[in-house]
Structure 1
Amino acid sequence: MNTQGDLGARALHVLETVFGYSSFRGEQADIVDVVARGGDALVLMPTGGGKSLCYQIPSLLRDGVGVVVSPLIALMQDQVDALAEVGVRAAFLNSTQSFDEALQIERRLRGGDLDLLYVAPERLMTSRCLALLESAKIALFAIDEAHCVSQWGHDFRPEYIQLSVLHERFPQVPRIALTATADSQTREEIIHRLQLEDARMFVSSFDRPNIRYQIVEKANGRKQLLDFIQSEHAGDAGVVYCLSRKKVEETAEFLNEHGLNALAYHAGMETAVRSRNQARFLREEGIVMVATIAFGMGIDKPDVRFVAHLDLPKSIEGYYQETGRAGRDGLPASAWMAYGLQDVVQQRRMIDESEAGETFKRVQSAKLDAMLGLCETLHCRRTRLLDYFGQSSLPCGNCDTCISPPGAYDATVDVQKLLSTIYRVDQRFGAMHVLDVLRGVDSEKIRQRGHEQLSTFGIGSDRSEAEWRAILRQVIALGLVSVDHEAFGVLKLADAARPVLKGGERVQLRVYQKPVKARRTSGKPKGFVETDLSAAEQTIFEKLRWWRMETARTHNVPAYVIFNDATLREIAKTQPASLNELRGVSGVGEKKLETYGEEIVALLEGAGVD
């Protein structure tokens, strides 16, 4: 057994020579040490925080092959390609391979010719695969996206529950479970279902300070989205999430009609088309992917500059996971959402109409309440987000509520007017009718029912329909009013409305702000610094990007697999004149130095670098 110092030195050597980084980040070194010594670990680390190194390096330090359980079949090829670029012997087993291809991988595994093997959970649980693993030397098991084991979570995968078999059949093999999102309930379920009671837990900060969070009042969602992209992220890669397949296709078509390079992605598409669109998004620059949440888990593309939502996510975990796909390279990125009354009603209806049990519905309702609280908060969104995961934070100064603090007012009288109107129409009508009565709209429908005679008719005429819809949205979010979906969206008073109506409880709401068109900027969020490069260095950087694009096309891999932007910027700034100088650049390991070093040095010489 190595001493701790020896193991730490070996781990650092692998980090430097294979992956090209001079030091570990955060708790990476401690995690690597625990797993490399044969211990179990549960790792909660934000997207882009370097989770993969936490199992890749121990796999290289221990005897045998590291087996990575991952649900991301569509991305395994890119993960294996990226490892091949740094000289790691990696392969995958999943349903996309022919029998002969899988047979070849199995031979390599038995022959000790692999450092890492990626396996889909469905394949892993077959008797053939388990027998295969028992015939090989296993260094460790890494269970990626471990939150998928939670039946209460936002991305439950039934096959994950069976993964406890790894501990039962391979008791001496260390296991590391990793996820970017897990509240306390999900953490407990991961520990219980994967039998990780003795595992060491590592919880990194969930903060992604480079992401700016912005939630706007939804008026015309698609038009607002277009304005946001054109004003702040023209030419950038981004992801737009929609709830339905139809909305995905319509939004992608809309963006294309207005000059953007947009692709659609949802589970109802032909597999070949969906895979082709994903490959284009990963390999090309400046593409906007419009998708359902079927797209994205584990996406490694580091230069996604924005993630937008045209529909309200079901939970903060889902929102955090999805927005976390922006800015994985650490550079400024945006998380933008358009949110309105219909979002609240729609999500409540989905829970109410679910065939799940009452306990599950209560959990989902609580998760939705937390998501609504994030949308409606008067305070820093980042503080609210981190608080959900049990972490405290000072106001960030970089979200919309910090940059332009929303006004708040004592809305008790307005809320009483709304609640009284719902009561006066006998809790038998939907939002449109209630607001028409409140505003005193003279319509045939209202006269037919005699509602123009009600004492509440017209008492809200001082406010616009948009303002009242915003008030109603917040009142529903606060649980004062419910929507009866079985009765076609009828508004009903909740028990919590009684003390407000009687004057025993005050209500604070956000001041309504009319949606305004985003002003066109230089194309980046406020405070975005493209680079601190000089004009001459910027020219070199662009030449390096062109070289990277051509090289990636030749190798048939995404451009970031060759080098990410941060590495190219450092090369442009330091302008290494030799292979030895290039060796010191972050992200340049020995294999990449051997493969690309001479080309880069020659390119720099040709660009006039001394």
Structure 2
Amino acid sequence: MQNPRDILQHVFGYHSFRGQQEAIVQALVNGEDALVLMPTGGGKSLCYQIPALARPGTGIVISPLIALMQDQVSALRELGVRAGFLNSTLSFPEVQATERALLAGELDLLYVAPERLIQPRTLDLLQRAPLALFAIDEAHCVAQWGHDFRADYLRLDMLHREFPEVPRIALTATADMRTREEIVERLELGAAEQFIVGFDRPNIQYRIQQKDNPRRQLLSFLKEEHPQQAGIVYCLSRKKVEQTADWLCREGFNALPYHAGLPGKLRETHQSRFLREDGVIMVATIAFGMGIDKPDVRFVAHLDLPKSVEAYYQETGRAGRDGQPATALLLYGLEDVVKLRQMMGASEGNEQFKRQEQQRLSAMLGLCEITSCRRQTLLRYFGDVMEEPCGNCDTCLIPPETWDATEAVRKALSCVYRTGQRFGATHIVDVLRGSTNEKVITQGHDKVTTYGIGQDLTADEWRTVLRQLVAAGYLDVDPAGFGGLQLTELCRPVLRGEQSVHLRRDLRTRKPTTRTARRPDADIAEADRPLWEALRACRRRLAEEHGVPPYVIFHDVTLRDMLEQRPLHEQDLLSVNGVGDSKLKRFGIEFLDVIREFDYSGSQAL
């Protein structure tokens, strides 16, 4: 059995563990089970890769991400780790070769899709092989009505029964208390030690804005703050994904669509380009993103409302894995709430599931409408505590204004009641503002007492009022109808004059001004920039030669360390963060030559 600290340094090139990594690794090395909740970019993979190398046998990694297994395995092989995978992309001879390597003890890590793992052939194979551990990645997929549910995960409880002596580790970046309990129950991890690492991603700036011409808002955001930078734009429908990607291309951006309806080969090509090329924007449904290791995603933008805080947190967490500043922008409106409520109403889930989904949506709406620090609310949802406001979200940077909306709220609620609680927001606004359109007249709503009593507010202001009333639970959306608004029990004290209501005032033109368009490497001194670009060019060439994304060769943080330390000899290069024995042997001389050339040129200039 090898020493975990030696593996960390010589294989992965890091000089110390972060946070609870060492405790998690030691638990696995000792043969104990573990449940790990760690934010994206927190170093979850090391928590099972190092124990798999330290313990005798092969570590089996169960991952739902067939499309990414090749990249994950390629990255490990560049480190000198003997890694392989079994999934449906392999030919039968390739499967046989991998199985022989497993039985011969020639693999340190084997990645397996859950549907492959539960097949009798695979289980028989594993029974005959020496196993170090089971790592169940993206463990939230076991939550039966979660945002990334995978039915095959429900059968992974058999690992405890079939392989009682093999330690198991379940890992996820996203799980509230309810999902955590479900993971423990379904995977039979009751005796596992739980490691709950803080959920905070301080480098991500969270912003949520009311929709006001979303394309114009997105275009301004990209041009002013993230030109030529990699990012992800999430949309709710496949049609919107394709339309948005086409529009961004016409606006001069390198944008690609990604959704489950595209041919598999095209999805694979687009994903590969996103990982390997600079400045690509992926426009996608939630079918894209889980397990994406690209460190330099500078923004995640949502053009539609996510249906839960878990989904929002996980999707925004794909930005800024390298620890550099990143932005999470969400644009949402009342129409998003109506659409999601209708989708939930049409769901095949039972009544308990529908109630839970409504609760999750309500929590998401609450996050959108709060006037206090968004990060504090986001972390509180996952049971994490932040004592002071973060100073890096829109509500901290520009505190929103509020106003006493009690009178306007009573007018709106009364109008919903007088028109029969069957109509959507557009019709309610028309009645309040005294519109003479055909629908108002045909329905006879020009005769109700609330007709025309709301001319003191614009149509947009009334829509803002109605949106916040839905978010606060004063109004509900009829899920079985066409988005008709209905009163809830919370309305009674307001309508009786027993309770006042303060709402936030939407100022569409205001946005945080602390972030201006700048390159991620803008902090590099002009004198160092030629060497920086030469190191990047060297990395890019090696990545193309090896058929892997550039960050698999070295992350930006490693190149920055080279820039600072200027190592001239192999032993010096080992002190650079992210350079282990294998990468030193494979790539060291290439980067040393680049640095020596610049060092020599600099000396000559002196």
Q: What is the TM-score of this pair, normalised by structure 1?
A: 0.96
Q: Which of 431, 436, 440 is 1:437 aligned to? A: 431
Gaps of 5+ in 1: none
Give 4+ residue runs of structure 1 displaced > 6 Å after superposition: 517-521
Deviation string 1:493-547 (CA, Å, 9 cap, x unpaired) is 12221221111222221112134699897524xxx87354321212211111111
Give the corresponding residue for 2:586.
595
Q: Give 1:454's aligned amino acid.
A: V
Give the corresponding residue for 2:442.
448
List aligned pairs for 1:312-331, cutoff 5 A.
Answer: 312-331=305-324
d(CA) in 2 for partners of 1:521, 1:388? 27
Q: Give 1:593's aligned amino acid.
A: L
Q: Which of 254, 259, 267 is 2:252 aligned to? A: 259
Q: Give 2:176's aligned amino acid.
A: D
Kindly indicate whether the alpha-carbon contact (under 8 Å) linking 2:394 and 2:511 is maintained by their aligned counterparts in 1.
no
Q: Which of 564, 568, 571 is 1:580 aligned to? A: 571
Residue aligned with 1:23, SS = coil
Give the corresponding residue for 1:535.
526
Give the corresponding residue for 2:47.
54
d(CA) in 2 for partners of 1:435, 1:485? 20
d(CA) in 2 for partners of 1:323, 1:426? 40
Q: For residues 255 and 58 of structure 1, do their structure 2 counterparts lie closer, same or farther at Cα, with a shift above 3 Å needed?
A: same
Give the corresponding residue for 1:21.
14
Give the corresponding residue for 2:419.
425
Q: Give 2:483's aligned amino acid.
A: G
| Cα displacement (A) at 1:570 | 1.2
d(CA) in 1 for partners of 2:202, 2:101? 43
| Cα displacement (A) at 1:609 | 5.2
Kindly indicate whether the alpha-carbon contact (under 8 Å) linking 2:431 and 2:450 is maintained by their aligned counterparts in 1.
yes
The range that moved more, 163-172 or 489-498, is 489-498
Q: Could you say what the CA RMSD is over the residues aligned between the two structures, in angstroms?
A: 1.6
Q: Give 2:160's aligned amino acid.
A: H
Give the corresponding residue for 1:275.
268
| 1:117 correspondence with 2:120 | no
Q: Give 1:388's aligned amino acid.
A: Y
Kindly indicate whether the alpha-carbon contact (under 8 Å) linking 2:343 and 2:479 is maintained by their aligned counterparts in 1.
no
Give the corresponding residue for 2:455.
461
| 1:392 correspondence with 2:385 | yes
Kindly indicate whether the alpha-carbon contact (under 8 Å) linking 2:38 and 2:199 is maintained by their aligned counterparts in 1.
yes
Give the corresponding residue for 2:222.
229
Q: Which of 299, 305, 322 is 2:292 aligned to? A: 299
The range that moved more, 268-277 or 459-468, is 459-468
Q: Give 1:78's aligned amino acid.
A: D
Give the corresponding residue for 1:168.
161
List aligned pairs for 1:90-489, cutoff 5 A.
Answer: 90-393=83-386, 394-489=388-483
Q: Give 1:67's aligned amino acid.
A: I
| 1:566 correspondence with 2:560 | no
d(CA) in 1 for partners of 2:121, 2:504? 59
d(CA) in 1 for partners of 2:422, 2:57? 67
Kindly indicate whether the alpha-carbon contact (under 8 Å) linking 2:398 and 2:512 is maintained by their aligned counterparts in 1.
no
| Cα displacement (A) at 1:348 | 1.1
Q: Give 1:573's aligned amino acid.
A: E
Deviation string 1:371-426 (CA, Å, 9 cap, x unpaired) is 11111111111000000001111210000000001111221111101011112222
d(CA) in 1 for partners of 2:196, 2:249? 41
The range that moved more, 250-259 or 343-352, is 343-352
d(CA) in 1 for partners of 2:531, 2:72? 28
d(CA) in 2 for partners of 1:93, 1:363? 36
| Cα displacement (A) at 1:448 | 3.4
Q: For residues 487 and 116 of structure 1, do their structure 2 counterparts lie closer, same or farther at Cα, with a shift above 3 Å needed?
A: closer
Deviation string 1:540-562 (CA, Å, 9 cap, x unpaired) is 11111111111101111001000
Residue aligned with 1:139, SS = strand
d(CA) in 1 for partners of 2:357, 2:163? 35
Q: Give 1:501's aligned amino acid.
A: L
Gaps of 5+ in 2: none
Deviation string 1:184-232 (CA, Å, 9 cap, x unpaired) is 1111111111111111100000000000000111011122112111111
Residue aligned with 1:22, SS = coil
Q: Give 1:547's aligned amino acid.
A: C
Q: For residues 498 and 521 of structure 1, do their structure 2 counterparts lie closer, same or farther at Cα, with a shift above 3 Å needed?
A: closer
| Cα displacement (A) at 1:91 | 0.3
d(CA) in 1 for partners of 2:342, 2:585? 58
The range that moved more, 489-498 or 377-386, is 489-498
d(CA) in 2 for partners of 1:291, 1:276? 14
Kindly indicate whether the alpha-carbon contact (under 8 Å) linking 1:306 and 1:327 is maintained by their aligned counterparts in 2.
yes
Kindly indicate whether the alpha-carbon contact (under 8 Å) linking 2:67 and 2:268 is maintained by their aligned counterparts in 1.
yes
Give the corresponding residue for 2:506.
512
Q: Give 1:319's aligned amino acid.
A: Y
Kindly indicate whether the alpha-carbon contact (under 8 Å) linking 1:417 and 1:460 is maintained by their aligned counterparts in 2.
yes
Q: For residues 152 and 143 of structure 1, do their structure 2 counterparts lie closer, same or farther at Cα, with a shift above 3 Å needed?
A: same
State, as a whole percentage, how many aligned pairs show the same letter. 56
Q: For residues 361 and 485 of structure 1, do their structure 2 counterparts lie closer, same or farther at Cα, with a shift above 3 Å needed?
A: closer
Residue aligned with 1:299, SS = coil
Residue aligned with 1:487, SS = coil
d(CA) in 1 for partners of 2:8, 2:479? 56
Deviation string 1:134-154 (CA, Å, 9 cap, x unpaired) is 111000000000111111322
Residue aligned with 1:215, SS = strand
| Cα displacement (A) at 1:63 | 0.2
Kindly indicate whether the alpha-carbon contact (under 8 Å) linking 2:345 and 2:480 is maintained by their aligned counterparts in 1.
no
d(CA) in 2 for partners of 1:578, 1:465? 69
Q: For residues 397 and 154 of structure 1, do their structure 2 counterparts lie closer, same or farther at Cα, with a shift above 3 Å needed?
A: same
Q: Give 2:78's aligned amino acid.
A: E
d(CA) in 1 for partners of 2:433, 2:514? 36
Residue aligned with 1:209, SS = coil
d(CA) in 2 for partners of 1:518, 1:321? 23
List aligned pairs for 1:41-80, cutoff 5 A.
Answer: 41-80=34-73
Kindly indicate whether the alpha-carbon contact (under 8 Å) linking 2:375 and 2:389 is maintained by their aligned counterparts in 1.
yes
d(CA) in 2 for partners of 1:570, 1:544? 11
Kindly indicate whether the alpha-carbon contact (under 8 Å) linking 2:538 and 2:590 is maintained by their aligned counterparts in 1.
no
Q: Give 2:263's aligned amino acid.
A: E
Kindly indicate whether the alpha-carbon contact (under 8 Å) linking 1:224 and 1:517 is maintained by their aligned counterparts in 2.
no
Q: Give 2:94's aligned amino acid.
A: E
d(CA) in 1 for partners of 2:148, 2:478? 27
Kindly indicate whether the alpha-carbon contact (under 8 Å) linking 1:417 and 1:459 is maintained by their aligned counterparts in 2.
yes
The range that moved more, 148-157 or 326-335, is 148-157
Kindly indicate whether the alpha-carbon contact (under 8 Å) linking 1:227 and 1:517 is maintained by their aligned counterparts in 2.
no
Deviation string 1:61-94 (CA, Å, 9 cap, x unpaired) is 0000000000010000000010011110000000
Residue aligned with 2:44, SS = coil
Deviation string 1:109-157 (CA, Å, 9 cap, x unpaired) is 0111000000000000000000111111000000000111111322111
Residue aligned with 2:207, SS = strand
Kindly indicate whether the alpha-carbon contact (under 8 Å) linking 1:231 and 1:519 is maintained by their aligned counterparts in 2.
no
